[in-house]
Structure 1
Amino acid sequence: MVARLLRLRAALLLAAFRGRPIAVVRRVLLGLVAVVGAVALAWLPRWFSDDPGDRAAIDVVLASGVLLLAVLVPFFANRGHLEPRQFAGLPERPGSVALALLVTTVLSWPVLWMLVWLVSLWLFRPEWMASPWPPALACLLMLLLAVTGARLASGLSRLVVPRHQSGALRASGVIVLIAALPVAVFSVAQALRDPHGTMTADAAEILAWSPFGAPVFGVFLHETDAAAAYLRFAIALGSVLLLGLLWFLLVRVSLSTVAKPIESGAARHGLGWFERVPARPASVIGARSLTYWARDPRYRVALAAIPLAPVVMLLAFWVAGVGFEALVLLPLPVMLLLLGWSVHNDVALDSTAIWMHVASGTKGRHDRIGRLFPVLMIGLPLVLIGSSLTVTLVGDWRMLPAVAGMNLAILLSASGSSSVFSALMPYPTTRPGDSPFAQPAVVGSGSGAAQTFSMLLAALLAVPPVWVAFPALIDPGFAENMFALVFGVAYGVVVLAVCTLIGGRIFRRAGPELVALTQTFD
């Protein structure tokens, strides 16, 4: 089976040189650019520093980034990969299928690009020639780690993500790439610009204990600290064996299960967001909310106004003489706070359809969760991308965990508080179809109290993550930043879950009253 798949892989590689001449020339040029990029990536550290120790730190940072991409990218983009379920109809054992897919992955363009990079590393590092066996072992471990990690990520993605949701998965991968790109570019540029800096050394020391950087760092420790080098090699080898074991188990599970078929009578085209979500109450309500946010001008105007408040605050603080680093850290938390707070009156905005949830017996927590879909779909990418840009502008990527944890906690806690007040204190708002700038003239509506109390609660819930993240932002140590990240994620999830349950209980008990109240708004 291995020989047959190798011939198939070779045919697929040669297929790149067949077709229209323009397409072949374009593929050849892209291949040459990739080869030149691989060689340049291996040569850059030597150009920036002549010291082997500095080059070691830079190599650890670059190698960790390359291996991390090799493992993560196939999870989000795997349309051209063979999957184990395609071999379910053949009389082959799971072990032979797993071994064949793993071995034949070597004949693929990404692996060939990595081979070019590893060979270039060997040629551009004269210090490796003195003791060739550790570098050879390091290169072999990096190649095996990339191959097994890529196969496992691709197979896991095919197993857990339905085929009709592959587009959403690729979009999520693009968002993650955009979020990580500024930090990656900044860290690589910092490492190349200042090889002697503490930031590069700290990053290399942390990554050296991960499977991605351990083999490279072990090469440079071989002469001075053999025990530490052996330990790093053991970490890399253990990671490869673990990934290989998980791959064989994944193939066995994939061959013994079948994908859940899509119902033949279910409409899957022309329904917008409804065709992208499962047929569950919270998901359907979320799809309807997403449709409202895309088509209703009331939501678009409110969304467009969110970036204006941070701009006004930045101008005020800048005039007051606040430093640049503090100004950079301010806009994103304020925007996330306003974004989460923006749905505090969503029941009133949805006044013409709220009766459907009450009449159908929809559980309150499903209503609360569904209405938060647009906020979370906008806010989570904003947290990733905005946190990455924030630390890049500040100039210290070590504070990224604290910044991301703080911003995520602010978004989730503000969304949770709005989920409570949306059912507790709805007030009259612009009617559907009216101008988003028109306001209903209702006496004693209580809109001021609802807005004030909901914003006050959102601001109070945002204090703990800001308090925990503040020491990590002042002194960006590894332990402080990781604690701020873990606390921010856990705190935000807990607050959102508790507020969703409270808001759901309020919605269930006050459902008829909410229907009667919202009818008076229309």
Structure 2
Amino acid sequence: MVARLFRLRVALLGAAFRGSMWRAVRTGLGLLVLFALIVAAAAAPSFLGVSATQRAMIDVLAGAVVLAATFVVPFFANRRNLSPAQFASYPASAGSIGFGLFITTIFSWPFLIFAAWLISLGVFRTEWQGAGWVLPAALVVAALLGIACVRVMAALSQRIAGVRYTGALRTIGVVLLVACVPFAVLAGSATLTAAGETAAAEAARIAGLTPFGAPFAAIGFAAGGDTDAALMHLGLAVGALIVLLLLWIPLVRVTLFRVDRPADPGVARRGLGWFERFSARPAQVIAARSLTYWSRDPRYRVALFAIPIAPLVMIVAFSVAGADMRNLALVPLPVVLLLLAWSQHNDVAMDSTAIWEHVASGIRGRSDRAGRLAPVMMIGVPLAVIGSSLTVTVAGEWRILPAVLGLNIAVLLVASGITSIFSVAMPYPTTRPGDSPFVQPQWSGSGSGLAQTLSMLVSLVLAVPPVWFAVLAIIDLSFLENMWALAFGVGYGLVVLVLGILIGGKLFERNGPELIAVTQVFD
């Protein structure tokens, strides 16, 4: 099996040069430039007069980032990775297929580039020569760890997402990449200052305690004569490698003996817009319908255009009053996320006559509540992730990113949970489909003012705990405080969101006829 996979890998290596002569030349030049850049990046710290201590810090951080990328990237981009399922028809055991795929990964362009970077580090770091046998051992462990990360995460992604949700995973990966760019630029520029160098040294120490940075930290400790610390870090990397290998063979076995459920050939999958991308389940169908409304209905577009106005007015007012712009950078995003989620507080009324389909079909209320939150989540979560990175960039302090991210996600989730309750507990008539978005019907009941005020107040009150912990972490600048603010914000927000969906679902099931009556008052 290994020989067959070896021939396949060699063929895939040569496939990059197939086609026209111009394509072969272009591919060859591109690979030469890429290898030259990799070698130059590894050699740069040694030729730019950087001290040995700073080089050690850079190598640990860079190595941890590269190995972490081999762990994260294949989960979101797995199309170019061979899957064990492609060899299910071969008369070979799961162990043979798994071993062959693992070993022959070294004959792939990404690994050859990765290996060139590791070898360049070993050649250009003259201080590493005193590490003895730890140097080649650590580099080999790092290479094997990178292969194991790619194989396990790609197989896990293919098993979880399958073919249908590959595009959604790539989109999520792109959002995370865009969010990391300004943060990485800020963190890199911050290390040029004295305070930033101290923070970078602490980050390198923490990265060295992870399996991704441990091999490079082990080389540094061995070169410095601390054999015990070198063996401890090397053992950490080896332990992570063993865990991944123990996961790899069971993943191969599951992939070989379990097949994905085929799509129903009788169901049309073309020309249905958002309905093509969601399965035929109540919550997901409602999510597709809500996304269709948001993309076509001018009432939703007007609300989206109006949301950024409030934070802009606040920034102008505070700046005129003389507030520090770095502190003001923390204000706009939570306000935008709060208003985005709060805009759903009367979403049922926007359905007009369509709400009867949900009531007549007898769907569970929680499915209705969860499906209607799809547009807010698909807009709000990427906005929170990317916006948090931009916020810390403007604020000039990358160490507060966990607290800012926890604050923004918590505000979004809390407000979404509260509006899931209020949209069925206190609905009021709204603009009819086709009417001007700026026309509001008159209503003799409790009115829109009470529902809007109460939903906003409850959202603000319940958002106080995560905001409080985030503010404390931003002031303290402690790593543990920031991680606690992130964990508490996400966990607390999820609890409120789930409770809001469940409570709103119960109210939806109980008040179905009343909801139809409210939405059809002016129809």
Q: Give 1:333 shift.
A: 0.6
Q: Which residue of 2 aligns with 1:273?
A: 274
Q: Give 1:190 shift.
A: 3.4
For 1:44 and 1:419, locate their aligned partners in 2 and report how far apart those are by CA, in whole Å. Answer: 54
Q: Which residue of 2 aligns with 1:43?
A: 43
Q: Which residue of 1 aligns with 2:237?
A: 236
1:320 is matched by which residue type in structure 2? A
Q: Give 1:196 shift.
A: 7.5
Q: Which sections of structure 2, spanning at least 5 residues, go unmatched?
A: none
For 1:44 and 1:62, locate their aligned partners in 2 and report how far apart those are by CA, in whole Å. Answer: 13
Q: Which residue of 1 aligns with 2:150?
A: 150
Q: Give 1:191 shift.
A: 3.7
Contact 2:345 2:419 in 1 (8 A): yes
2:344 is matched by which residue type in structure 1? V
Q: Which residue of 2 aligns with 1:409?
A: 410
Q: Give 1:89 shift.
A: 1.1
- Structure 2 counterparts to residues 97-246 of structure 1, below 5 A: 97-191=97-191, 197-222=197-222, 223-246=224-247
Q: Which residue of 2 aligns with 1:89?
A: 89
Contact 1:465 1:491 in 2 (8 A): yes
Contact 2:469 2:485 in 1 (8 A): yes
- Structure 2 counterparts to residues 283-298 of structure 1, below 5 A: 283-298=284-299
For 2:41 and 2:522, locate their aligned partners in 1 and report how far apart those are by CA, in whole Å. Answer: 63
Q: Percent of aligned pairs with the same residue?
A: 55
Q: Which residue of 1 aligns with 2:305?
A: 304
Q: Which residue of 1 aligns with 2:362?
A: 361
Q: Give 1:171 shift.
A: 1.1
For 2:440 and 2:204, locate their aligned partners in 1 and report how far apart those are by CA, in whole Å. Answer: 57
For 2:35 and 2:353, locate their aligned partners in 1 and report how far apart those are by CA, in whole Å. Answer: 59
For 2:514 and 2:365, locate their aligned partners in 1 and report how far apart those are by CA, in whole Å. Answer: 14
For 2:180 and 2:425, locate their aligned partners in 1 and report how far apart those are by CA, in whole Å. Answer: 39
The 1:163–1:313 alpha-carbon spacing in structure 2 relative to 1, beyond 3 Å, is same
Normalized against structure 2, the TM-score is what?
0.97
Normalized against structure 1, the TM-score is what?
0.97
Q: Which residue of 1 aligns with 2:316?
A: 315
Q: Which residue of 1 aligns with 2:337?
A: 336
2:210 is matched by which residue type in structure 1? S
Contact 2:294 2:301 in 1 (8 A): yes
Contact 2:349 2:430 in 1 (8 A): yes
- Structure 2 counterparts to residues 53-92 of structure 1, below 5 A: 53-92=53-92
Helix, strand or coil: the match of 1:211? coil
- Structure 2 counterparts to residues 358-437 of structure 1, below 5 A: 358-437=359-438
Contact 2:400 2:473 in 1 (8 A): yes
2:10 is matched by which residue type in structure 1? A
Q: Give 1:193 shift.
A: 6.5
2:327 is matched by which residue type in structure 1? A
Residues 260-290 of structure 1, C-alpha deviation per residue, up to 9 Å, x if partnerless?
1111112211111111112111111011001
1:210 is matched by which residue type in structure 2? T
Residues 304-342 of structure 1, C-alpha deviation per residue, up to 9 Å, x if partnerless?
211121111111111112112211111111111111101
The 1:313–1:123 alpha-carbon spacing in structure 2 relative to 1, beyond 3 Å, is same
Residues 446-481 of structure 1, C-alpha deviation per residue, up to 9 Å, x if partnerless?
111111111111111111100011111012211111
Residues 400-432 of structure 1, C-alpha deviation per residue, up to 9 Å, x if partnerless?
111111111110000011111100111121110
Residues 362-419 of structure 1, C-alpha deviation per residue, up to 9 Å, x if partnerless?
1111111111010001111111111111122222222211111111111000001111
For 2:194 and 2:48, locate their aligned partners in 1 and report how far apart those are by CA, in whole Å. Answer: 9
Contact 1:53 1:220 in 2 (8 A): no
Contact 1:332 1:386 in 2 (8 A): yes
Q: Give 1:49 shift.
A: 4.9
My pick for the range that moved more, 115-124 or 330-339, is: 115-124
My pick for the range that moved more, 104-113 or 398-407, is: 398-407
For 2:396 and 2:236, locate their aligned partners in 1 and report how far apart those are by CA, in whole Å. Answer: 31
Q: Give 1:184 shift.
A: 2.3
Q: Give 1:185 shift.
A: 2.9
Helix, strand or coil: the match of 2:316? helix
Contact 1:428 1:445 in 2 (8 A): no
For 2:330 and 2:225, locate their aligned partners in 1 and report how far apart those are by CA, in whole Å. Answer: 42
- Structure 2 counterparts to residues 29-40 of structure 1, below 5 A: 29-40=29-40
Q: Which residue of 2 aligns with 1:521?
A: 522
For 2:5 and 2:242, locate their aligned partners in 1 and report how far apart those are by CA, in whole Å. Answer: 23
1:170 is matched by which residue type in structure 2? R
Paired residues, number: 522
Residues 209-245 of structure 1, C-alpha deviation per residue, up to 9 Å, x if partnerless?
1011111111111234222211111110101111111
My pick for the range that moved more, 386-395 or 27-36, is: 27-36
The 1:49–1:321 alpha-carbon spacing in structure 2 relative to 1, beyond 3 Å, is farther
Residues 7-35 of structure 1, C-alpha deviation per residue, up to 9 Å, x if partnerless?
11111111212212332233233323321
Q: Is residue 17 from structure 1 mapped to residue 3 from structure 2 by the alignment?
A: no
For 1:515 and 1:195, locate their aligned partners in 2 and report how far apart those are by CA, in whole Å. Answer: 61
The 1:33–1:394 alpha-carbon spacing in structure 2 relative to 1, beyond 3 Å, is farther
The 1:80–1:236 alpha-carbon spacing in structure 2 relative to 1, beyond 3 Å, is same
Contact 1:428 1:442 in 2 (8 A): yes
Residues 496-522 of structure 1, C-alpha deviation per residue, up to 9 Å, x if partnerless?
111111111111111101101111033
Contact 1:58 1:195 in 2 (8 A): no
Q: Which sections of structure 1, spanning at least 5 residues, go unmatched?
A: none
